[in-house]
Structure 1
Amino acid sequence: MSMTLGWIGAGRMGSAMAGRLLDAGHPVRIWNRTRAKAEALVERGATVADTVADLADRDVVFVMVSTSDDLREVLRGLYAGDQAPGTVVDCSTVSAEASAEARAESAKRGVRFIAAPVSGNPHVVAAGGASLVASGDRETFDLVRPLLATIGRAAVYAGPGEVSRLVKLCHNLYLGMMVESLVEVVTLAEKGGVDRAAFLEFLNGTVLASDWVRKRTPDLVERDWRPTFTTELLRKDFDLGLGAARASEVPMPVASLVHQLIQAAIGRGHRDDDFLALYEVQAANAGLPEGPGQET
């Protein structure tokens, strides 16, 4: 594809995703609030923009930021001048309301807008294993689909408007509930005298096994909470997901309890740790000995 590309957001996820495009031979101009993170991709072929507005001449601009307010802020900068990109693809996990605002602001500038949140941590993305779910105009999705397919192994069109935001929030609610279930049974086995590594080895050989649990087993065994996805970001997604559930009058009793346990993990000092640190809350509540803590 000969389209010119811009990228906003070079954090852990953004860098991994933009790197996939760069490694496939696409020249990408990147802006990040902390310039050094964008400059780290120069050796892979990226150029660095001085301001967000410097991306306004691109055919397609990807956005990968942390919060709804971040999305609002970067789009204000992108649309501040006389020029505007052809298409914006936002891969962030934000609220449907913020996404609709972004779509409306883009339409005012004549910019096509696709919401395309992504599933996968930076390691998964870098290995080509990410999945993206998109919503918006089908014709625009078809235009950018080859780029999405370069970033991840799957790019699913979910429908018009902001429905992809709900899909991603449901995904992250399930992820949080799954991890809480995992750390609860691990703690029970451990409190009963079973070696944590042995229990997880057994579990990973059963029909309940998953690639995700297998890959994260060493971290859980070693109590290594170096972040792939922080507890604070998971809390943000639970805030959004439970808000969507309230708006649709859908009861979420399990998710609501997990929300409080995520809050407990943050209260215990695990805000910036990987969300697998939910284990520490369960282990402490069960009276297990303290572990070595986060490795550096």
Structure 2
Amino acid sequence: MQETHPHVGHAAPFDGQALGLARSAIREGRMGMTDTMKVGWAGIGKMGAPMSRRVLEHGHSLTVYEPLPENRAFIVGLGANVAHSLADLAASSDVIVLTIPNDAILRQLTLVPDALGDVMQAGQILVEMSTVSPEISAEIAAVLEPKGVAYIRAPVSGSTVTAASGGLSVMVSGQEDAYRRITPLLESVSAKQFYVGQGEEARYLKLVVNAMVGATAALLGEALTLGLKGNLSVETMLSVICESAVASPLIAYKRDLLVKRNFDPAFSVSQMMKDFDLILDTAKSDHVPMYLASMIRQQYEAAFAEGLAEKDFFVLFEQYERLAGIAPEMRPDTEPKIGTRKTG
């Protein structure tokens, strides 16, 4: 599907307090670095909005390409310029950053006529920070690199919360000299940077990480459900898990969500389905059997079918509870009548 103006992001909520703090930081010169760049940014959505805000706060000039006014209003209010075409974006930027939802939109922004593949010039750098397939990433490299445009793959690990605080981790591959040149930019949006190679290594590493993340939600949901059958509360189980050999930052981060069963999405079921499709498509292309990943993808499909597409992906826990016949009133952490439940 081709669009004249591809929708490059999901609308981010307006945050008046953050707007005030950012303006204050810019006025007072609290930028945190001296190496500034002319940055173009396409995709002011859930991740792109907080990440691009940090670029401004660190003193870089910023021009954004985001056809939806409601998406770009926040960052324009901080002082970003607006590009009304990809040609305008390229003309005003040394470095262009993309944060977009999927391969289809990435293709619209880079590979169709008059997209970035046509309008970027030698010496410029394209930094693609989304979770996309190694296949389309390699297509982009094949178009840009012969023109002398450096192409950096830089997918991130983290949530909208860590994006706002600058706590993301970024996995980087591409020309190493270009990576060194944009290190100040990457440091403005992330706490850790991992350079892993010259080609599509960062794309594969991101899929590796997301396979583990999605599998964690599935396995933890099953395990907690088993514990509920044994009269253990979710809070007790997570307290022990977080001090055990299987503790992880992800489980610690999701602890309150699971205890309170508040599945407002930091990362949704539908987003995880998209990532598992990328994982399994890549595995198929490379002839890698992924039995568990295939089963887990079906678990997210079942959650989608139950109407949970826009819930946090850890909502699989409640799906397992229902499958195990655990009604809300039977949960040890919500009702004290646990001594009467059968455990075997």
Give the TM-score, by structure 2 length: 0.79
Determine whether 1:143 maps to 2:178.
Answer: no
Q: CA RMSD in A?
A: 2.0
Paired AA for residue 81 in structure 2:
T
Q: Deviations over 1:28-61 (max 9, x none)?
A: 1112232222111233332232333321111000
Which residue is equivalent to 1:79? Answer: 116
Determine whether 1:53 maps to 2:93.
Answer: no
Q: Is the 8 A contact 2:225 2:320 kept in 1?
A: yes
Which residue is equivalent to 1:65? Answer: 100
SS of aligned partner of 1:269: coil
CA gap of 1:124–1:83, structure 2 versus 1, over 3 A, is: closer
Given the alignment, which residue of 256, 270, 273 partners 1:235?
Answer: 273
Given the alignment, which residue of 257, 263, 267 partners 1:225?
Answer: 263
Q: Deviations over 1:244-274 (max 9, x none)?
A: 2223332222212111111111111111221
Cα distance in 1 between the residues matched to 2:116 and 2:55: 24
More off after superposition, 45-54 vs 84-93 = 45-54
Cα distance in 2 between the residues matched to 1:35 and 1:231: 27
How far residue 65 of structure 1 moved from its aligned partner, in angstroms, is: 0.4
Which residue is equivalent to 1:2? Answer: 36
Number of equivalent positions: 291
Cα distance in 1 between the residues matched to 2:117 and 2:73: 24
Cα distance in 2 between the residues matched to 1:98 and 1:290: 45
Structure 1 alignment gaps of length 5 or more: 292-296
Determine whether 1:22 maps to 2:56.
Answer: yes
Cα distance in 2 between the residues matched to 1:244 and 1:193: 41
More off after superposition, 27-36 vs 62-71 = 27-36
Which residue is equivalent to 2:24? Answer: none
Which residue is equivalent to 1:175? Answer: 213
Given the alignment, which residue of 194, 197, 212 partners 1:159?
Answer: 197
Structure 2 alignment gaps of length 5 or more: 1-34, 330-344
CA gap of 1:83–1:263, structure 2 versus 1, over 3 A, is: closer
Q: Deviations over 1:72-128 (max 9, x none)?
A: 112245438756481110001111111011122223554221111111111012222
Q: Is the 8 A contact 1:4 1:27 kept in 2?
A: yes
Mark the structure with the bigger radius of gyration.
2
How far residue 19 of structure 1 moved from its aligned partner, in angstroms, is: 1.7
Q: Is the 8 A contact 2:129 2:155 kept in 1?
A: yes
Paired AA for residue 98 in structure 1:
I
Taking every aligned residue pair, what percent have the same amino acid on both sides?
33
Determine whether 1:199 maps to 2:237.
Answer: yes
Cα distance in 1 between the residues matched to 2:240 and 2:145: 53
